[in-house]
Homo-oligomer: A and B are copies of this chain.
């Protein structure tokens, strides 16, 4: 099930990382190449995708230009979540040529990365769009970029799993080993957490699943199970809790996984191994 277009992130969720990225690229004295241009020279630039893909983070990436120089005019021509063809002009940017050259790489580095995530997410979500399973991400994100990467997953039609360790209880095998049997561990967790927190338990076998079904856990993660086994597991759960399939799922296998009837499919590669979407700038003076 593909998510609706995501609501935009508030600027305070992304302006900090843009400031950091601009500072990284300015170094100590700024763009010494662009500084050779005449100060008054104006230009207009087209942000163009060289490949087909799904857009994410366009407005926030363009903010690099106006953070650098508030006099620059930016105009987004497509929206996050849009799927576009190669050659599409995504936005225009106008202003001092020096400012456009200075902020160009900061904008494109972020935009190419987020569109890469959205495009990969959209490709997988599209394969199961007619089935109820939700495609979700994981906590396998890059340092400092989690909020933006997870936004890009939403823009690509995916949903988000836990943002952080305090978001939900996830009991893996080592937790269970240390806490005693599964029902005891879940009861222990339920007493500790507040009413808005869900509890998930990871299982590798159907025997473990039966243990989880004795509890009031909210979600069971079915780890590294083949489609037939997933189907059996879903049947055994019978709607009493959400089911999540996880472990090495790719474009080649996701449809079979979804057809097992699971509610959620998690894919770490959405955020840990991202091929950027190739986006460039064409200058019009």
Residues on A close to B: CB < 8 A? 1, 3-4, 6-10, 12-13, 17-39, 41, 67-69, 97-98, 101-102, 105-106, 108-110, 112-113, 116, 134, 136, 139-147, 150-151, 159-172, 174-175, 177-179, 185, 188-189, 191-198, 200, 219, 242, 244, 263-264, 272-276, 283, 285
Contact = CB atoms under 8 A, between A and B. Distances in A.
Contacts of A113: 142-143, 272
A26 B166 contact: yes
Nearest to A153: B194
Given A13-B26, A17-B144, A195 B68 contact: no
Contacts of A161: 194-196
Contact of A198 (B7, B26, B141, B198): B198
B30 A19 contact: no
A144 B149 CA distance: 14
A28 B272 contact: no
- Copies of this chain assembled into the complex: 6
A8 to B, nearest CB: 8
Contact of A136 (B9, B143, B194): B194
Given A68-B10, A116-B273, A34 B165 contact: yes
Contacts of A6: 35
Given A17-B144, A165-B32, A194 B134 contact: yes
24 contacts: A6-B35, A12-B19, A12-B22, A12-B23, A13-B29, A17-B144, A18-B143, A20-B143, A25-B164, A28-B163, A32-B169, A33-B172, A36-B169, A36-B171, A36-B175, A36-B192, A101-B174, A105-B165, A109-B140, A134-B194, A140-B276, A159-B194, A198-B198, A274-B274
A71 to B, nearest CB: 11
A81 to B, nearest CB: 12
A168 B193 contact: no
A170 B68 contact: no
A191 B101 CA distance: 21
Given A32-B197, A165-B102, A37 B178 contact: yes
B139 A142 contact: no
A143 B145 contact: yes
A112 B273 CA distance: 10
A23 to B, nearest CB: 6
B142 A179 contact: no
Contacts of A19: 12
A264 to B, nearest CB: 5
B191 A28 contact: no
A29 B146 CA distance: 10
A203 to B, nearest CB: 15
Contacts of A171: 33, 36
Nearest to A97: B178
